[in-house]
Amino acid sequence: MKEFSKEVYLKWYEDMTMWRRFEDKCRSLYLKQKIRGFLHLYNGQEAIPAGFTHAMDLTKDSMITAYRCHIHPMAMGVDPKRIMAELCGKATGTSGGMGGSMHIFSKEHRFYGGHGIVGGQIPLGAGIAFADQYFDRKAVNICFFGDGAARQGSLHETFNMAMNWKLPVVFVVENNQYAMGTSVKRTANHEDIYKLGLGYEMPCLAVDAMDPEKVAEAAYEAIERARRGDGPTFIEARTYRYRGHSMSDAEPYRSKEEVAIRKNDDPIELIKQRILANSWATEEELEAMDNKSRDFVEECIEFMENSPYPDVEKIYEYVYAQEDYPFLDKLEN
């Protein structure tokens, strides 16, 4: 794996601060009703995509995740301007403005969604890995899901099949402690979600996911195991989200004191302190990077504002593959 050098840490800091500002700006746009529908923010969990993409081969490995999906594609190389446009339903968005917040997608960067169905992406991740194995691409799929999705039956079916066929996939549960508003402590008689892999003799472990170094180390070992044909790994990435489940979440299930305490583990602050401790940058240089991130997010908004909405007739283009579908005739009449 690439070493954790000065350049890596500075890139992590620049990326993670930009991701945080991007999400904060999305919250503002939602309150202004420029983003409609659902909006699930990623604040606090930034160390996970930072660590994983450090360990991945971005020329061939792929990623799939749930509906909290703005930051993962950025880490894979998708243009944040196009993600912002998609969030606001603009034609320049990653899905032409017709997917929205929960359905970011980029075939070019091998980012296969954004999925709104809880746990729906788990078997899909195994399916992508099966295709990689079948065509001998030497590629690995990283399949993310939340702690709530870990209780879906599809997880067990997929784990069994993935181990049986030794598929090149890494399953990652982003355990941010709450499935919507339900604490992990209340959803099962154990809190160690990673142990679900033991029933299938799948290598499994928990990792401190507030530290991108620890995430990258666990990710690299799992990815290389999958790449050499030894099958999947199940990683429980223990993290914490600083915002509600979605913008409609009033967070009655946790106290402000709890959130404040968990902010002491902020992954961005951890990266900043390591940079300063190693004299890789000064406070002034990091502040300049912060300002650069702020300016770039404003550029994303400007790009979105100057982009058109998709034409109304586009609404039917991606729904029916059959050109002579009877329903379309009824619409014309």
pLDDT tens digits for 165-181?
Answer: 999 999 999 999 999 99
The answer to whether 175 and 147 are in contact (CB under 8 A) is yes
Confidence category of residue 333, pLDDT binned at 50, 70, 90: low
With beta carbons less than 8 A apart as the criterion, state whether 167 and 128 touch.
no
Sequential DSSP letters for 267-332:
HHHHHHHHHHHTTSS-HHHHHHHHHHHHHHHHHHHHHHHTSPPPPGGGGGTTT-S-TT-HHHHHHH
What mean pLDDT comes out for the span 29-34? 96
Position with higher pLDDT, 314 vs 294 = 294
Structural domains in the chain?
Answer: 6-264+283-303 (3.40.50.970)
pTM of the full predicted structure?
0.93
Query: In the predicted model, what is the mean pLDDT of residues 218-238?
Result: 98
The tens digit of pLDDT for each residue in 147-163 reads: 999 999 999 999 999 99
Instruction: Evaluate whether 166 touches 203 at the Cβ level (below 8 Å).
Output: no
Check whether 198 has a pLDDT greater than 90: yes
Percent of the chain residues topping a pLDDT of 90: 90
Can you spell out the DSSP letters for 121-167?
Answer: HHHHHHHHHHHHHHTT----EEEEEETTGGGSHHHHHHHHHHHHHT-
Mean pLDDT across the stretch 99-107? 95
Enclosing H/E stretch for 207: strand 204-208
CA angle at residue 89 from 83 to 90, to 5 degrees? Answer: 75
Tokens for 258?
């709890």
